[in-house]
């Protein structure tokens, strides 16, 4: 029991480091970048509030667990910007190595269980993972919109890139999709989201 408790405490203290991993998304007041721990809390809150907009049946507890652990691997692997295709290529391997280390801090049964939750989130296959991933797309969109363009503004992101990134919201929360389109169109109109580059440049 003592050894088990020590492992759990060591894991929780290690998890503290997620508070120092910075994302590209700013807070809504644009005062600073968001970190991955507070982002994870915000997604858990969003799941509780937005659950009624999902299609089909799902287990909300499981969604909250997926969201709580979904970014833990960033403690070692760092946050990978969704529109950075260079780093996206190495993301899976970096995160797998991180998962090997971090979940092994826990007692084996518990480490395996939480690693399964992380793998489930990454696989986008269960209704719970699809809803959790859709929230992980929606929340930064709302924050970017509130912060006047946020991470789009500084990284030459295109309308088509954002539409592809947001697509999981279309199927998972169809009632929310028109709102997503409104936001994207408004930022295209203001010039912050670029139109797709012409094919020659692609």
User: Whose Cβ is closer to a second copy: residue 45's or residue 194's?
Assistant: 45
CB environment 22-37: b (16+ within 10 A), e (fewer) = ebbbbeeeeeeebbbb
How far, in Å, CA of 82 to CA of 94, rounded? 15
Q: Catalogue the E-assigned strands of the chain.
A: 22-26, 33-35
80 binds a second copy (CB under 8 A): no
Q: Which is nearer to a second copy, 22 or 158 (CB)?
A: 22
| 7 within 8 A of 107, measured Cβ to Cβ | yes
9 binds a second copy (CB under 8 A): yes
Pair 60, 134: CB distance under 8 Å: no
Instruction: List the interface residues with a second copy, window 17-76 (CB under 8 A).
Output: 17-20, 27-29, 31, 34-35, 37-38, 40-42, 44-46, 48-50, 53, 60-61, 64-65, 68-69
- Give the residue with the Cβ less far from a second copy, 35 or 161: 35
Which stretches of the chain bind a second copy, using CB under 8 A?
1, 5, 8-9, 11-13, 15-20, 27-29, 31, 34-35, 37-38, 40-42, 44-46, 48-50, 53, 60-61, 64-65, 68-69, 106, 110, 114, 139, 142-143, 146, 175-176, 179
């Amino acid at each position: 029991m003592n050894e088990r408790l020590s492992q759990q405490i060591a894991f929780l203290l290690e998890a503290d480091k997620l508070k120092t991993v910075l994302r590209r998304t700013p807070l809504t007041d644009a005062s600073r970048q968001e970190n991955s721990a507070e982002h994870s809390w915000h997604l858990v809150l969003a799941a509780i509030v937005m659950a009624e907009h999902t299609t089909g049946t799902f287990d909300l507890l499981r969604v909250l667990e997926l969201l709580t652990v979904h970014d833990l691997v960033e403690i070692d692997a760092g946050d990978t910007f969704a529109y950075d295709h260079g780093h996206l290529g190495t993301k899976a391997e970096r995160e797998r190595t991180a998962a090997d280390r971090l979940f092994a801090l826990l007692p084996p049964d518990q480490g395996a269980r939480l690693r399964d939750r992380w793998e489930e989130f990454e696989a986008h296959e269960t209704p719970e993972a699809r809803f959790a991933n859709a929230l992980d797309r929606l929340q930064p969109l709302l924050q970017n919109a509130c912060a006047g363009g946020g991470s789009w503004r500084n990284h030459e992101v295109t309308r088509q890139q954002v539409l592809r990134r947001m697509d999981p919201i279309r199927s998972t929360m169809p009632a929310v999709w028109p709102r997503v389109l409104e936001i994207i169109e408004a930022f295209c109109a203001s010039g912050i989201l670029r139109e797709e580059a012409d094919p020659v440049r692609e």
